[in-house]
Amino acid sequence: MSSTASKAPAFSICVYCGSRSGVSPAYAEVAQRVGQWIGDHGGQLVYGGGNNGLMGLVAQSAAQAGARVVGIIPKALQTLENTRHACTELHVVDNMHERKRMMAERADAFIALPGGIGTFEEFFEVWTWRQLGYHDKPIGLLNTNGYYNGLIDFAQHSVGQGFLSEKQLDLVRFGTEPEEMLQALVQAAGFVPPAEFKNI
């Protein structure tokens, strides 16, 4: 166990991202930068508990940078998603609903990276929960490599067509720089991350 993993984390970030790596190396790079930033700033990663794709990369780089890693995986997906047994805390839960509930509860803020249908669902769920007032935790979407351009355009189209309000759209921070986005989310959640935790 690393030196920081045994300390209470400064904050807890839930990362939603692909169980695949995507075609551009930019996706793997951003996943590694997110994990690294969380570890470097004394944080805790909460994620889906697998070893595949960007999910595995975030967990690996967070752990290497000294973060506590909390993995939460439904028992039926353990083989498919290649459970990361090296998590600081691994929770094997009964179903997807339990996983998502626990991930949301254990986090101070949410960040979605490029991903597929699972990532979309998790991101939209915490966004809808936020606009309904079920939680007030900050949410960010990392538009790496323009991956979410279509989604952002569609959300703006929805505002224009009167199905989404500007206020609802403003509940999500959109950005491309992981370190900047993480800093903003952690501060919006009411935490001041130590500048370079691992060097203290």
* Full DSSP string of 163-174: SS-HHHHTTEEE
3-state secondary structure of 158: helix
Distance from C-alpha of 27 to C-alpha of 18, rounded to nearest angstrom? 9
How many residues sit in the footprint of ligand AMP (CB under 6 A)? 15
Q: How far is Cα 141 from Cα 169, in angstroms, rounded to an integer?
A: 12
Is 56 a binding residue for ligand AMP by CB under 6 A? The answer is no
Q: Which residue is nearest to ligand AMP (CB)?
A: 118
* Closest CB to ligand AMP among residues 115, 140: 115
Looking at 4, 12, 19, 144, which residue binds ligand AMP (CB under 6 A)? 19
**Using the rule CB under 6 A, is 119 a contact of ligand AMP?**
yes
**Binding to ligand AMP by residue 71, rule CB under 6 A?**
no
Closest approach, Cβ 193 to ligand AMP, in A, equals 26
Q: CA-CA distance, 131 to 149, in Å (whole number)? A: 22
To which H or E segment does residue 57 belong?
Answer: helix 53-64
Sites of contact with ligand AMP (CB under 6 A): 18-20, 48, 50, 77, 81, 96, 115-119, 121-122
